[in-house]
Amino acid sequence: MNSAFSFEVIKTCARTGARAGVLHTPHGDIPTPIYMPVGTQAVVKAMTSEEMKGLEAMIILSNTYHLHLRPGEAIVEKAGGLHRFMDWDRPILTDSGGYQVFSLEGLRKIREEGVYFRSHLDGRALFMGPEESMKIQQALGSDIAMAFDVCSPYPCDYETAKANMERTHRWAERCKKAHTRPDQALFGIVQGAFEKDLRIESVKALKEMDFVGYGIGGLSVGEPKELMYGMLDAMQPYYDEHKPRYLMGVGTPDCLIEGVARGIDMFDCVLATRIARNGTLLTRKGRMVIKNKQYEEDFTPVDPDCDCYACTHHTRAYLRHLFKAGEITGPRLASIHNLRYLIRLMQEVRQAILEDRLPEYREAFYRDFDMTRAFNRGDA
């Protein structure tokens, strides 16, 4: 592992394979398993860095594609790097830009050298390949950079999945050669769509390349949750037990718990703040749409068990009023609650692993959580 980074597994659940560990980085230690809030454009929407610390966020994500377009990595580098630019002294992970470019259907062409695409902001022609992604992420100065990969759509045929996986592996090798910053860890990304043999092949191939850690990409792209769980089950026996594993783009409460139970250490998703802006809250019972009339005279906290500012100072009726009145404080309070809910959930899961009671915690979670009020990525 890169000498600036180390990962230690403190406890493994014998009944599930879930792990409690610590990822040591130049900007601090990251206890795992962990939910990582997404700050796409060098900010978690509606939140200040100080507020994120108050929520006990230990690491946040930023987006290579968006920061490349605006303000540009040269400006961020001139400001002293992403940490100084956004006033965040804890770890930062940057994604490679691959998923965002992949999502520009009709605006991009994927070739062996990289991806030709048009900016979603002004339509200008751009190019990004493995070397360009590494150059941008090194200029941004994140603690963890992600290799540039090819994400397969859902559904897709076997030949497409295999071709995209093999190109991802070739690009991973190019990323390793282009990545030279010693104080930044590089994670490879497992692909293979929804073919178990390809997923296993990808895990083995990337393990041979000896990255600092591994992202699992191309899941939570519209498939049923059980299909995603099946892919995680297939990959679990083949991971390097000494490296951190990151399930990309997954952040619903039930998927976090199921991912941890399948050996995943790190998660991220924009869902928490995106649904908050629409007045939807995460609770131990499931989804709560605070704008509904049933909360008009409900003077209880959003979640009586939550320790966030919104729940300890305000009521459901007040949050509903703010949303109905179009006040910006409504989405801010909802964002504070949703972020704290997911951060705290993973803190509880970690403690359950340390105390050898994860299966019991998981069972209790589902007793309270109404799956008819669960979330899918599409809800975000």
Residue 4: C-alpha distances to residues 21, 27, 111, 182 (Å): 17, 10, 34, 7
Q: Is 95 a catalytic residue?
A: yes
Phi, psi of 32 (to 5 degrees): -120, 155
**Which helix (DSSP H) or strand (DSSP E) does residue 118 occupy?**
strand 114-118
Q: In angstroms, rounded to a whole number, what is the distance separating the alpha carbons of residues 61 and 59?
A: 7
**Which helix (DSSP H) or strand (DSSP E) does residue 310 occupy?**
helix 309-313
Are 60 and 88 in contact by the 8 Å Cβ rule? The answer is: yes
Q: In angstroms, rounded to a whole number, what is the distance separating the alpha carbons of residues 189 and 133?
A: 14
Q: In angstroms, rounded to a whole number, what is the distance separating the alpha carbons of residues 272 and 136?
A: 27
- Among residues 29, 95, 157, 379, the one annotated as catalytic is 95
Residue 234: C-alpha distances to residues 210, 212, 231, 237, 238 (Å): 20, 22, 5, 7, 8
Q: In angstroms, rounded to a whole number, what is the distance separating the alpha carbons of residues 51 and 337?
A: 12
The length of the chain in residues reads 380
In the three-class reduction of DSSP (H, G, I as helix; E, B as strand; rest coil), residue 375 is classed as coil
Q: Is 305 a catalytic residue?
A: no
- Among residues 149, 265, 268, 303, the one annotated as catalytic is 268
Question: Which among 202, 192, 187, 176 has a CA at the least distance from the CA of 95?
Answer: 187
> Which amino acid, one-letter code, is at 336?
I
Are 63 and 97 in contact by the 8 Å Cβ rule? The answer is: yes
Annotated catalytic sites, by residue? 95, 268
